[in-house]
Amino acid sequence: AQSVSQHNHHVILSEAASLELGCNYSYGGTVNLFWYVQYPGQHLQLLLKYFSGDPLVKGIKGFEAEFIKSKFSFNLRKPSVQWSDTAEYFCAVTGNTDKLIFGTGTRLQVFP
């Protein structure tokens, strides 16, 4: 069965610090990978996605993620975070079905 692990449950950073959130998945076949963000009190928004091609994916708001197939990973990065990046971040995967399997989420707090 597919599963997604996000090892960082809560990350606290100061503004301008660099960010890397870990995401590992387990699935033997072809995967589609996603990072969603949920700002406080709001719905999920897609940050970026990987279907195929270049494993380094650029998303909105300066975020990027790298798909490393050999490590079953899809870590999210941002070189310099802002206070407005404070949110919950979810990694998700689909395989050969429409079912989005989410990780448990990482809560990011950025202090000015």
Partner 1 sequence: DTAVSQTPKYLVTQMGNDKSIKCEQNLGHDTMYWYKQDSKKFLKIMFSYNNKELIINETVPNRFSPKSPDKAHLNLHINSLELGDSAVYFCASSHRGGTGYNEQFFGPGTRLTVL
- Enumerate binding residues for partner 1 (CB under 8 A): 32, 34, 36, 38, 42-46, 49, 51, 88, 90, 94, 96-102, 104-105, 107
User: Minimal distance in Å, beta carbon 50 to partner 1?
Assistant: 11
Minimum distance from residue 15 beta carbon to partner 1 (Å): 24
Is the CB of 14 or the CB of 30 nearer to partner 1? Answer: 30
- Least distance to partner 1 from the beta carbon of 102, Å? 4
Nearest to residue 16, comparing CAs of 87, 79, 109? 79
Using a 10 angstrom Cβ sphere, with 0-12 exposed, 13-18 middle and 19 or more buried, the burial of residue 16 is: exposed
The answer for residues whose C-beta is within 8 angstroms of residue 61's C-beta and 6 or more apart is: 47, 78, 85
